[in-house]
Amino acid sequence: MLASKIPLDGNLPCAKVVSNLPFNISTDVIKLLLPMGDIFSDVVLLLQDEAALRLVDSSSKSSEYRPINVFINFYADPEYKFKVPRTNFFPQPKVDAAVVAFRLKQITDYPQVSTIKSFFSMVNSAFNGKRKMLRKSLQHICSSSEIEAALCSGGLPPTARPEELTLEDFVKLHNLIVKTPILNHLE
């Protein structure tokens, strides 16, 4: 049935995902769907309002800034659309909901990193010690002095913490660190 809908030129039209997810699985589903920009153009989800606000907030320096924010911005352009009050549901939940739209990026639009796996490994490592300076939380990747040198080369302070870096900063840092021979084992 799907084969009959494929255009003769072989270009598949991108589908859209629209879903009202159980709130407890929303992050896992987002992690599965967002890297699928070759299949889907948009993902529109009804999420718990508080979580929706956290997920679309890409501003670093926020206490809610986490690896999932870097992940979302790597793969998509998120937009908080509107709040759906709890009174619109039956039975009424204890929390409000919100509609969030994710415009998925094509692979060619992803930030340029050596490998996506090593990039997110570094991001997750950085946030494992969220309040620690990056030169400490990334010590298992390379030495503190190499981390400091990479931070300075990227125009970042040597005392930078993960919640202070934007997606672009993480990409820059990763690309500088990956040039160090010690990091080659992450490739």
133 is in an annotated binding site: no
In angstroms, the CA 168 to CA 120 distance is 13
Q: Could you tell me how many residues make up the chain?
A: 187
Six token digits for residue 113: 């990193």
184 is in an annotated binding site: no
**Binding region:** 1, 20
**Binding region for S-adenosyl-L-methionine:** 1, 20
